[in-house]
Each structure stands twice: as C-alpha cells, then as structure tokens.
Structure 1
Amino acid sequence: MIRLDDRLVCLRFETMKAVSALAAVRHLLDTGAVRRGDTLLDSSSGIYAYALALACHRYGMRCHIVGSTTVDRTLHTQLAVLGATLEQMEPCSDLKLDQKRRVERVHEILAEHPGYHWMRQYHDDVHYLGYRAIADRIREAVGGAAGLTLVGGVGSGASTGALARYLRGAGDPAHPPADVQLVGVQPYGSLTFGAEHVPDPEIIIAGIGSSIPFGNVAHELYDTLHWISFDAALAGSVDLLRRHAVFAGLSTGAGYLAARHERERAPERTVVFIAADTGHRYVDTVYARHREAAALADLAPREVRDQRQLALPWSRMHWNRAPAPAGRRRGAGRGCGGCVGGAARGGRAGSMTKRGNR
C-alpha cells in the first residue's frame, strides 16, 4: 500500500488477479471439484491469464488460456515458460468482437475436452475468496478513518465487489458494519452499467469493462460510477508516474483520476484506489505518448443523472447501490457455496506501506 497523501492510498499489485486465481484453485482442490493434474481453462485479456498460469504452476495443474488479441509478446513468453497453453485470437480492431470470439472458443474446447474445468472468472463467485486477506490488510492500514472510499475498475466484479463486501463486514461478526463507499470505474462502450452506446474512438480498456454480461458483478454494491476514456486514463497514468513514481497500467490511471476527484469531494474520507498491474505492457501505447497527456487540472467529470447523458472524456453518476439494469441481472455463482460471507483460506497480504513521491 502506497500512501500518496494523508487521505489517498494506492493499493498496488504486480498482478492483482493472482490473489483471486490462487484462492479459487485452492478452494476447488480442497472441495474436490478438481484434482492435481487436471486442466483449468479460461479466457483472458492478459492479467488473469498470467494469474491462472501462476496458480496452476503452484498447484500442479495444467493451464489452457484463450487469449485476447491484446496479449503481448512478453506475456506470451511468460505463459510459455510457466507451461501454459495459449490460444490467441487473430488480430481484431474490435475488442467487443474479440471478447465474443474468445467465449465461443471456450465452449468449443469444452465440447472437445469435457474433462477440462472452466474457471468462469466472469461468472463464478469463487473468485471473490482471495480478497478477504487484502481487505484485512486495508483495514489495518486505514483503520480508524472517518470513512473509507474504495475506487477500482469493475471488470468481472471480483476485486472491487469482494473488497467492498469484506470491508463492509459481509456478515462477519469479527468485523462490524463499516462506512465503505464503493466507486466503480468503467470504460465507455462497456455494457455492464449501460454505456455500450457510447464508443471510445481510441479503445475500450480491456479488463475493466465488458461487451457481454458478467455474472459475478453485484451492481447493488456500487455507490458511484466513473466512465473514463482512454485519453483521460492516459493522463492519469502519466501523472501518477510523474507525480508519485508509481508505474502502473492504464486502468490504474483511470482509477487514480477518479480517486483524486472523490478525495476532493469528501476530504474527511480516506480514498483507496486499486492498481491492478504494472505499466510494462503499456510502454508503447500509453507512456510513449506522455507528451500528449492532458494536465489533470484541466480534466473534470461531467455529472450525469442517467446513461443517456454520458459523454467523453469523463462522466460521473450516482448509482446508489441500485440493482443491475434490465438484461444484466446477476447470475448465480458456481462452486463457491456462499463463499463471500465465509472464511477465505490463505495467508495475509504482505505489502509494505510507504509514502509516494510528490
């Protein structure tokens, strides 16, 4: 955890989804859903592929990934060294089509290999489990604050949704209900919260948005939403490195932008934002364009009352823990057995608190 100022904290990961993948695989082994030597299968745009490969490497499993067209050479090499099988989609300028094709390919593989276990990172609540230890770490670091605001990319819902539930208590008698506001970050073009009608001319930020319904996004957990364009997220990423020496991915730039705004609106609250990965795979697409980055002082969100008012480069809306929009109802998780309210297995998160450069 990197403290950028007295009330702004960066929760930094090298590979965030390793937390969820390790706990999920361990849970599946413990419950007998899979055995060592089995093949675990899923689709990924990058971070989860590496996380699942690491988990399979640790627990003696085989790993099969249907990868996005955005998987770069570095990740391709890492997966190969870890022994994972990668099927990468053909180049495609439309990431919505890329996501759809990946899911179709997963179903084809399952038909060919019914013994494979589909991890269903977008639909199974088992991926919430690993974040309990992270929530405990946050609680220790910022305990006693008047209120906590958690900011992060929505994506499959596992990271922000799980952390909010655990931090709010989630029926755990050891931790009474806490004042935790959850702020979700979405790219334009994502249908999860109804922004599919507003395209971003640059790119939909893979990993924090979706062109298909995700079954484990609990819409009713979110208080506020920010939709942030590629250009605005780029400015956030560059400023975070320049101002605080934190080198992180594009979704982190978007989260940092939203977190600064929430911090200014409620100076009495502590704001924690998630940095899901490092900035290495964004060197050419983001950091090499640092001279194009807008000054953050020139950026502010457009406050909207509903999705019809959304507009680039940045919009903000109160969600007020409302249920999912029509057609995006949350599906039942599989293989977790009500895991979010139960005890997650595993050790504590071992990160070190320090103050970021200013």
Structure 2
Amino acid sequence: MDEHIAEALGRPDLVRLDERLICCRFETLKVVSALTAVRHLLDTGAVRPGDTLLDSSSGIYAHALALACHRYGMRCHIVGSSAVDPTLRTQLTVLGARLEQMEPSDDLKLDQKRRVERVREILRDHPEYHWMRQYHDEIHYLGYRAVAERVRAEVDPGSLTVVGGVGTGASTGALAHYLRTGSGAGRSGSGGAGPAGPQLVGVQPFGSVTFGAEHVPDPEIIIAGIGSSIPFGNVSHTLYDTVHWVSFEAARAGSVDLLRRHAVFAGLSAGAAYLAARWERDHAPRRTVLFLAADTGHRYVDSVFARAAGARRVEELAPSQVTDASELALPWARMEWNHAPAPGAARPGALPVAGPGAR
C-alpha cells in the first residue's frame, strides 16, 4: 500500500494500444523523478526536513516538486511560467507551495530567461534554499530506474523503441539508460544501443534549441515541457538514435487521434510522441514501440480537444526526412541523430550542470 498519493501518481500505466504499440501513461510524469531526487537529497544529508526547495517550472515539475515536498515535510518555492493554469495554481497553493508566476509573454526564451534570473535573485537573498536544478542536475535521472524495471518486466528491451518528449532529458534519456544498462545512475553515452538493443527517439517542438531547431519558429506555440529556448545541462544527446520535430498542429492531430482511437486522454506532448511512435512502428516491423504520455489532457481542453473537429487526420501526416538541422521545416520532420553530441547552441554555458548527489 502506498504511504502517500505521490507514490501512486508517479507509477505509470502500461497500455497496449495494438500488437506493437504501447502507451506508458503518467498522471504526472515528473513525480517519480522529484520523489526520488528529494529522498536522495535527504538520505545524503544535502537537505534536511523543513528546508526550502526551489526551482523553475512550466507546470508538470511544479506539481511534482510540491507533492514531493508535501511527502517529505519540505517547503516548496516555484518560479512558474505564464503557462501555469488556474487549476494547478490552486493545487500548489493548497499544498503549501509558494508560486511566483511570470507575466504573460509570447516569447518562451524571454519567459525562461526571466525565470532563471528570478531563481538567482531568490538564491542571492536566501542562500539556505536548495535549488533543485531540474534543467541541469543528473539527480533527476534516478527516479526512472523503477520505470525501466516496470517496462523490462513487460517488454523485451532488446527489440524496444522508446519515444518521448526530450524536455530536460531526464525522462526519455534516463529510461533508455536504465533499459540499456540495467543499473547505475546518471548518463553514460549511447549505453550500448544498437540494432538489437533499445532505441531512443526524442520528440522536439520547432523553435527548441536542444537539437538545433531554434531557427524554425512554430507560429502556434512551442510545446512547453518537451523543448527549450535555453541550453539544458542534463540532456545527454548521445543517448538518442533519432529525433522528430513536431508542430503544434501535428501534435494536436496526434492528441485527438489518441483519444478518439484509443480513449487515452493525454496532453499535447503525448500527442506528438504518439504521432512519432506510429511512424516508427510502421517503419520497423520487428520492433515494439513504447511512447510516453507525460500528463492528462485537462490542461489542453480548450486549445486542443475543443477544436478536435478541425484537427487533421494522422494518416494525412508524414515527416520530411532530413539529414541536417538546416533542412527542418514545419509541420513535422525526422532525422537520424545517431548519438551525435549536442549542437553548439545547446551546450550549457554559465549554468551549473551538476548538483548535490549527481555523479
């Protein structure tokens, strides 16, 4: 029996959508990461019960960290994106977390830059706070070991392709790492991936700097949570075999089809991952494809599901195959990444990569 609701929320559901397509569905993806990270910090003495944990978030991580702090008797301070919706704001308040939300902005780069600057101001005034560094600390990989073990118990990792939003790199990157190695922490390059091993497919929005698409804006939106306009220190690019860039409209088509065809009500990043996973399944007949659904669809009722009648059919969509980021174009592109290192603009600069407990 679980001792706290966060433990239940962090446990994924594995749903077989067809013979070779599996949905790894989370209520809130980053709960498993935040719980394990906070527990590790307490066990190693890096923090003590009652300390304040601080970080920046566009939504999912804010909820996850607030739950972890509630579970372990910590204080929580979040510098939130303008994308944090009223439902989440209310939950954070009742959970006892302090939320500072940025003013609305159409410029994600400005939003992220302002959030990081505000975190630094808070740390200057409160050096006793612990910055969780979800964008830079490898400690956030640790929680996905349990997810990998759950997947390994159900599916042969040797013929598995994992598809999901890259984000900070801690979800898809960590899952692939643990499936490839079976143990250990942090990240270790390609981890022995190959034709007979687990493959990793990252999903990105256009406009994200992480894999070199910052020059291709999406006129609708940069999908919060799976891309970034600033370098992330814990994305291990060499873990990835393939990258898909998916526009808002293409991701919306995926989310609507996922609900209509399979009754899975999930967010926009899940729609993008589902779209990419369908393509990978159809073009690798000997492999099983598992994709991550990071959250439910409640945040996207107005922007995605209320407009379902106007969504394109997924059968009408296919990625353009590119060999260089300069060839990227909306609405959907695919490139063999082949464990290449980070492009220049995605390499972290001034922000620290590692924190307490990272290896």
Shorter-chain TM-score above 0.5: yes
Give 1:327 shift.
4.0
Hey, what does 2:20 align to over in structure 1?
7
Q: Which residue of 2 aligns with 1:118?
A: 131
Deviation at 1:332, TM superposition (A): 4.1
Mapped pair 1:262 → 2:280:
yes
CA distance, structure 2, for counterparts of residue 205 and residue 300 of structure 1: 19
* Structure-2 separation of matches of 1:146 and 1:48: 31
Shift of 1:171: 5.8
Aligned partner of 1:180 among 186, 189, 198: 198
SS in structure 2 opposite 1:133?
A: helix
d(CA) in 1 for partners of 2:69, 2:30? 13
SS at match of 1:205: coil
For 1:231-310, list aligned pairs within 5 A. Answer: 231-310=249-328
Question: Given the alignment of the two structures, is residue 78 of structure 1 paired with residue 59 of structure 2, yes or no?
Answer: no
In 2, Cα distance between equivalents of 1:28 and 1:161: 21
C-alpha distance in 1, partners of 2:56/2:217? 23
Q: Contact between 2:35 and 2:65, CA under 8 Å: does it hold in 1?
A: yes
Query: Residue type matched to 2:132 in 1?
Result: M
How far off its partner does 1:289 sit?
0.7
- Structure 2 counterpart of 1:63: 76
Structure 2 contact 69–75 (Cα < 8 Å) conserved: yes
Query: Contact (CA 8 Å) 1:56, 1:62: kept in 2 or not?
Result: yes
Preserved CA contact (<8 Å) 2:31 2:61: yes
Instruction: Tell me the SS of whatever aligns to 2:171.
Output: helix
What's the offset of the Cα at 1:328?
A: 2.7
- Provide the C-alpha distance between the structure 1 equivalents of 2:353 and 2:154, rounded to a whole number of angstroms: 33
The letter for the 2-side match of 1:152 is G
C-alpha contact (below 8 Å) 1:110/1:116 kept by paired residues: yes
Displacement of 1:97 in angstroms is: 1.1
Cα distance in 2 for partners of 1:305, 1:246 equals: 33
Task: Give, in whole Å, the separation in 1 of the partners of 2:152 and 2:228.
Answer: 30
Residues 163, 201 of structure 2: 8 Å contact kept: yes
Within the candidate set 163, 166, 177, 1:154 is matched to 166
Question: Quick check: 1:13–1:278 contact (8 Å CA) kept in 2?
Answer: yes
Query: Counterparts in 2 of 1:333-352, with a 5 A limit?
Result: 333-338=354-359
For the 8 Å contact 1:65–1:86, the answer to whether it is kept is yes
Indicate the residue corresponding to 1:219 in structure 2. Answer: 237
Equivalence for 2:181 = 169
Code of the residue aligned with 2:25 in structure 1: it is R
Is the contact made by 2:79 and 2:102 (CA closer than 8 Å) also made in structure 1?
A: yes
* Distance in structure 2 (CA, Å) of the matches to 1:205 and 1:239: 18
Q: Of 33, 36, 47, which residue of structure 2 is paired with 1:20?
A: 33
- Runs of 5+ in structure 2 lacking a partner? 1-13, 185-190
Post-superposition Cα deviations, 1:316-349, rounded to whole Å, max 9, x if no partner, equal 00000011112433664222343xxxxxxxxxxx
Q: Which runs of 5+ in 1 are unaligned?
A: 339-358
Deviations 1:167-218 (CA, angstroms, capped at 9, x unpaired): 001666xx99870100000000000000000000000001000010000000
Higher relative contact order (CA 8 A, sep 6+): 1
* Number of equivalenced pairs: 335
Aligned to 1:353: none
Partner of 2:103: 90
CA distance in 1, matches of 2:357, 2:42: 12
Name 2:44's counterpart in structure 1.
31
Residue type of the alignment partner of 1:37: G
TM-score by length of 1: 0.91
Q: Are the equivalent residues in 2 in contact too, given 1:49–1:67 (CA < 8 A)?
A: yes
Whole-Å separation in 2 of the counterparts to 1:85 and 1:329: 31
Cα distance in 2, alignment partners of residues 171 and 258 from structure 1: 28
Contact 2:158 2:198 in 1 (8 A): no
Q: Which amino acid aligns with 1:335?
A: P
Please list the CA deviations of residues 196-241 of structure 1 after superposition, one character each: whole Å capped at 9, or x if unmatched.
0000000000100001000000000000000000000000000000
1:349 is matched with: none
State the percentage of identical aligned residues.
Answer: 73
Query: Could you say what the CA RMSD is over the residues aligned between the two structures, in angstroms?
Result: 1.5
